[in-house]
Chains A and B, each alone.
Chain A
Amino acid sequence: MDKSIPLTEALFYILLAVRKPNHGYGIIQEVLEMTAGRLNLGPGTLYGAINSMLEKGWIRLYSEDKESRKKKEYLITDQGEGIFYNEVKRLGELVENAKKMELRKVGV
């Protein structure tokens, strides 16, 4: 697994929204809240992202009750958390470096 590929914004926020079991509509709502309404995930984008992450093993199906037509819930896996952790570390480094640049600019 190549861990150096940056996550798309959609994948990043979906991973953040499935740290506890969450279903499709719940993920859309939570991402909307986290970004103060900026990122409104399209259902097609979400569907594709969930399926590709299920395939890669970054998330797993948490529950599927066919009898009561309960909504499918998804949960992050250890592998997913590893990917997410590495990405946060990479993004942190980006921000750190950007801050250094800004400080120098102010200092001039």
Chain B
Amino acid sequence: MLKFRIYFDKDAEEVWLKEMSLKGWAFKKFLIGFYIFEECEPGEYNYQIDLLDNWKGDKKDFASFMEESGVEVISQWYRWIYIRKRASEGPLEMYTDSESKIAQYNRIKKFFRLGLLLEIVCFMIEINAAIRTGSSLIWLLTVFIGIIALTFLQMVWKCNWKIEQLKQ
């Protein structure tokens, strides 16, 4: 089964994958918004989503470490990694202390902050072009980029809020 969804919040995405698993659909692969599911026993798998430290390097190292620790790396999209574990083999929690949870939200925050910066630059270029040409297509694109920038900004705030919660 194929589903199209756009998630920015990995916590919400995890909840959705868990719900799908409970309905008997095991998530298999992700590609630009498309999620591929396979049939499974209801509730067979638990899922976690993680963001790798850097763009290069540690992907293989991370994956082999996870496999050795008894969890499965099932899909990867750039730095985003999808991990699963059979529910029968115990609970799946990637991060078990507040220090490492805070480190994870800091990674995610940095990711969206960089995205936000790039979107702001794009927005400036687009709005300039829109004013100059008056083209409604370019105006539409400008609004679209603006919406993405605001979503990224919201994610940066969300990460900050989660980090504050964890620090208490």
Contacts and interface: CB of A to CB of B under 8 A. Distances in A.
Interface stretch (B14-22, B23-31, B60-68, B154-162): B60-68
Contact of B94 (A9, A39, A42, A49): A42
Interface stretch (A22-30, A89-97, A98-106): A22-30
B125 interface: no
Contacts of A45: 94-97, 100
Interface in B98-146: 99-100, 103-104
B100 A42 contact: yes
B99 A47 contact: no
Interface string A36-52: 00011111111111100
Interface residues of A, number: 21
A8 B97 CA distance: 9
B97 A28 contact: no
Given A44-B50, A44-B104, A48-B103, A25 B97 contact: no
Interface in A44-72: 44-50, 71-72
Contacts of A72: 64-65, 68
Taking chain A's interface residues, is the majority helix, strand, or loop, or is none over half, making it mixed? Answer: helix
Contact of A42 (B64, B65, B68, B96): B96
A84 B38 CA distance: 47
Interface residues of B, number: 21
B165 interface: no
Interface in B63-88: 64-66, 68-71, 83
A79 B91 CA distance: 35
B93 interface: yes
Interface of A: 8-10, 23-25, 28, 39-50, 71-72
29 contacts: A8-B97, A10-B97, A10-B100, A23-B68, A24-B65, A24-B68, A25-B69, A25-B70, A28-B69, A28-B70, A39-B96, A40-B93, A40-B96, A42-B93, A42-B94, A43-B66, A43-B69, A43-B71, A44-B48, A44-B104, A45-B97, A47-B66, A47-B69, A48-B100, A48-B103, A49-B100, A50-B65, A72-B64, A72-B65
